[in-house]
Amino acid sequence: MNLVKIDTAKAPAAIGPYSQAIKAGGFLYCSGQIPLIPSTGDLISGGIEEQTKQSLNNLQNVLIEAGVDFNAVVKTTIYLTDLSDFATVNEIYADYCGEVAPARVTVQVAALPKGALIEIDAIACA
């Protein structure tokens, strides 16, 4: 199987030994995106609204670099440090969904890298 690494400066650089995304077997596996500003690597200021939008924008830029968009996404996982943010995240997330909302898992976690409130990963058809 041929693995193709996806890398774009329009999303934060990996902060560990992983790729932003990998194309393999007709799918695109996107690593989790936290709300970092791509040009600086700093966490965006603000609360869950700003962090959700930045995480989704980062994910969108990885998808675009791979030649797809949110319409190709079949599954996402959302990691929240506070599940009481669920409704707010849902409102923002709905604006990014493609024509058919992907399957999704949302879980609360104890902590995320760099103190982020949210992280989102995705699997898309490539």
pTM exceeds 0.85, yes or no:
yes
CATH 3.30.1490.20 fits 4-125, yes or no: no
Predicted confidence (pLDDT) per residue in 7-39, tens digit: 999 999 998 899 999 999 999 999 999 999 999
Q: Are 104 and 76 in contact (CB under 8 A)?
A: yes
Predicted confidence (pLDDT) per residue in 26-80, tens digit: 999 999 999 999 999 999 999 999 999 999 999 999 999 999 999 999 999 999 9
